[in-house]
Copies of this chain bind each other. A is one copy, B any other.
Amino acid sequence: MTIRLDSPVGHPITVHDVARAAGVSAGAVSQVMNGRGRISEATRARVLRAASDLGYVPNATARGLRVGRTNLLGLLVQDLSNPYFAEIVFGASATIGGFGHDLVLYTSSDDPERERDRVLALSSGVADGVIVVSAHGQAGTVRAAERSSVPMVMVNFWEPTSKLPRVNAENRVGARTATTHLLELGHERIAFLHGKPDATTHPPRPDGQERYRGYLEALEAAGVALDESLVLHSGLQQHHGWMSGRELLNRPDPPTAIFAANDFCAMGVIQAVKEHGWRVPGDVSVVGFDDIPLAARMHPSLTTVRHPLRPMGAMAVRLLFDLVNRREGVSQLELPSELVVRDSTAPPRGHRGASRDSSFKEGSWKIV
């Protein structure tokens, strides 16, 4: 224990100090502190008194060693400055208190090696369980997770061959709903931006594929033929969207709507549209994905598919808690997305569009 020089007592207070002061045994003190029965009212009172007099606080490390449980849950994210991750962390941290645990936060700085290291470190008994958000999917982390002697829950994890418990958000239906929304507004030339810049070197992730499938499904249902020239490999960052937006707008026949890979990408697209001298949604409609907090506050506010990020964090904690306590339960689940219609979508130029539906909800969550 770290002892401060100006600490009220020269050394940390232990059970024994309290026991001595109360004239009982250390075991009795422990019983009282943990509320386990078999203690007379009289001694209980004496112990409590002594404890508070001395300012006794049980040492969590010692208890952890003895009980084999730290009441800490690890949470590993790549980048806290990205609102996508920040929201998940928020959901987790808001929930965890209710389970009597606290959060150990790790950031991997987007570095697969560091990610694997942290997973390993977490397995050393610091935490009773670990949540890994958006594992890089590289062999290292996943293998470490699978071998770990500590329960682990993955968030936003799409490895179909792995049996690791996970909490994901639905993608296909969300994308289909968003595309349908655009179609109903009267759009027919709807561009789709993939999240990976280059499909050959970066194979598209399964969640991105799901979104694409949703897009295709919506087109097909509406009887609109796919124009492959409108499907671009963009990226998840603002500048990706900006570049893709520029490219699309400079064509002789630009699309009337753009479905971006995520909200950041959509922001870049909107920027490109503005720089082109066009307006959103007057000249081009734009749809994002995720619904980060910024989406509601930008200008124009962004129509987007909401990923339930906070609930995902919360669910991961729940699930992990059950795992830690060996309770059975669903261990792979997918939370629903929902379309949030805001100001960045409207009927195409010169089209008397259908009236807007305000917000589409995808029912309760679905177990896969």
Which positions in A face B, CB cutoff 8 Å? 1-4, 7-8, 12, 55, 57-62, 64-65, 68-70, 72, 80-81, 86-87, 89-90, 93-94, 97, 102-107, 109, 120-121, 123-126, 128-129, 147-151, 267, 293-294, 297-299, 324
Contacts and interface: CB of A to CB of B under 8 A. Distances in A.
B107 A105 contact: no
A245 B86 CA distance: 31
Contacts of A107: 93-94, 97
Closest A-B pairs by Cβ, 3 of them:
A299-B299, A59-B125, A57-B124
A79 to B, nearest CB: 9
A65 B61 contact: yes
Contact of A102 (B57, B62, B126): B126
Nearest to A146: B6
A181 B9 CA distance: 53
Given A1-B125, A297-B297, A298-B298, 11 more contacts: A2-B149, A4-B149, A57-B123, A60-B125, A61-B126, A64-B64, A80-B93, A81-B87, A89-B105, A97-B109, A102-B121
Nearest to A1: B68
A93 B85 CA distance: 14
A107 B96 CA distance: 10
Nearest to A310: B81
A140 to B, nearest CB: 14
- How many copies of this chain does the complex contain? 2
A124 B60 contact: yes
A90 B80 contact: yes
B106 A105 contact: no
A150 B4 contact: yes
B62 A65 contact: yes
A317 to B, nearest CB: 13
A121 B61 CA distance: 12
Given A80-B89, A93-B105, A68 B124 contact: no
A257 B68 CA distance: 61
22 contacts: A1-B125, A1-B149, A2-B128, A4-B150, A4-B151, A8-B149, A59-B125, A60-B125, A60-B126, A61-B125, A64-B64, A80-B90, A80-B93, A86-B86, A89-B105, A97-B107, A102-B104, A103-B106, A104-B104, A104-B105, A267-B297, A297-B297
Contacts of A7: 149
Contacts of A60: 121, 124-126
Nearest to A58: B124
A61 B64 CA distance: 7
A264 to B, nearest CB: 11
B80 A2 contact: no
Residue of A97, A102, A293 with most chain B CB atoms under a 10 A cut-off? A102
B106 A102 contact: yes
Contacts of A81: 87, 90, 293
Residue of A70, A97, A149 with most chain B CB atoms under a 10 A cut-off? A149
B70 A80 contact: no
Residue of A87, A124, A267, A299 with most chain B CB atoms under a 10 A cut-off? A124
